[in-house]
């Protein structure tokens, strides 16, 4: 998929570096990894953070959030 989607971080485990984003379009949840958050400049994600992102596929074959942009006050924050 190449179109950007958005959603809220609903789960984050700092120990494992894995979390889940609830998709705004109602299609469920998608995984998110620490490395992708770090690439976006997000060091301490918090449940409730909003993101725009693309959907990619991890080496395991699972769909994950990539090319993240944290939404702050209605726009992407650097």
pTM of the model: 0.87
CA gap 54, 65 in Å, rounded: 6
CA–CA distance, 44 with 62 (Å, rounded to integer): 23
What does the alpha-carbon distance between residue 3 and residue 67 come to, in Å, rounded to a whole number? 11
Q: Along the 78 residues of the chain, how does pLDDT read in single tens digits?
A: 457 899 999 999 999 999 999 999 998 999 999 999 999 999 999 999 999 999 999 888 889 999 999 998 667 765
Which residues are paired to 8 by β-bridges?
22, 50
């Amino acid at each position: 998929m190449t179109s950007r989607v958005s959603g809220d971080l609903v789960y984050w485990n700092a120990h494992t570096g894995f979390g889940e984003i609830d998709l705004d379009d109602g299609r469920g949840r998608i995984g998110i990894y620490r490395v992708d958050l770090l690439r976006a400049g997000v060091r301490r994600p918090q449940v409730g953070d909003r993101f725009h992102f693309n959907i990619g596929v991890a080496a395991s074959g699972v769909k994950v959030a990539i090319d993240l942009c944290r939404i702050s006050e209605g726009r992407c924050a650097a």
